[in-house]
Amino acid sequence: MKVFIDGQLVDKADAKISVFDHGLLYGDGIFEGIRIYDNNIFRLDEHLERFEFSAKALMLELPWTRQEISDAVCDTCRANGLENGYIRLIATRGEGDLGLSPWSCPKPSLIVIADTIALYPPEHYEKGLKIVTVPTRRMNPAALSPAIKSLNYLNNIMAKMEARQAGALEAIMLNDHGLVAECTGDNIFVVQKGAILTPSAQQGALKGITRDSIFDIAKDLNVAISEHELTRYDIWNAEECFLTGTGAEVIPVVALDGRQIGNGTPGPIFKRVLTAFHRRVRREGTRL
């Protein structure tokens, strides 16, 4: 396996960064998770735009053009013969001293990893997930915007650990007002009276690339969709529920906190959305 680091493709065993890199020391950096399907990198331009926006928000100056980053992603996939899988694009603040000061880091680092991924067991896509609500709250957008894909995911990691302690693979995180924000690694959607609803970024949800594609799919399917404040009560009493994410793709949820959602099986709108999503991922994006 080859990993791209600062302009070079190196063997996995030689893919190393400095212990003084502020991405390691402080989580000072950004990333994107990207999927490739049959040699088509799904919505690469959208991922690279969000990558640039995250960098700007953190005042992390990227010395590479969007085309250079795109080439690095594509070259890494080709070097690994990856036709279907997952790409992790990373920019760190770079090597500096032990202080917090980002200006001690004169040169950021660019890393691309391209490999396979299996986030959930296949049976859960057929039967659905049973998830829980965890105590750890989503970070307030006034403290750190959820639009920033930073390298510090401790908030989500703590929630993931709590989900596992409760015997669940995924969990809902509430914001500091008790409203549903998102899951530990996925966006959440519900179906109520035939319409699709999802929390907004103001509630703490990441503006996911897969999430955005669901809005396009709903329009094509002539299904109403909107951002909406959601409580756990709304999810317990929804007709359907499903999650989206680069790794998870689109996966149904059939129970929350021990309460069955709908009839306890993946619903018809979810199935239509999933079919449409599988068609889109092979035609929207950048061909290798």
Q: Provide the annotated active-site residues.
A: 149
Residue 56's Cβ-side half-sphere holds a number of Cα atoms within 13 Å equal to 7
Chain-centroid distance, C-alpha 62 = 21
Amino acid at 225: I
Cα separation, 102 vs 105, whole angstroms: 6
Cα separation, 288 vs 106, whole angstroms: 33
* Residues 6+ away with beta carbon under 8 Å from 189: 196, 197, 198, 214, 241, 242, 243, 244
Cα separation, 143 vs 148, whole angstroms: 11
For residues 215, 220, 222, 227, the Cα torsion angle rounded to the nearest 10 degrees is 10
Q: How many CB atoms lie within 10 A of CB 59?
A: 9
C-alpha angle with apex 257: 134 to 157, nearest 5 degrees? Answer: 25
Pairing of strands 187-192, 259-260: unpaired
Tokens for 50, please give them: 């969000």
Sign of the torsion angle spanned by Cα atoms 288, 31, 59, 22: negative
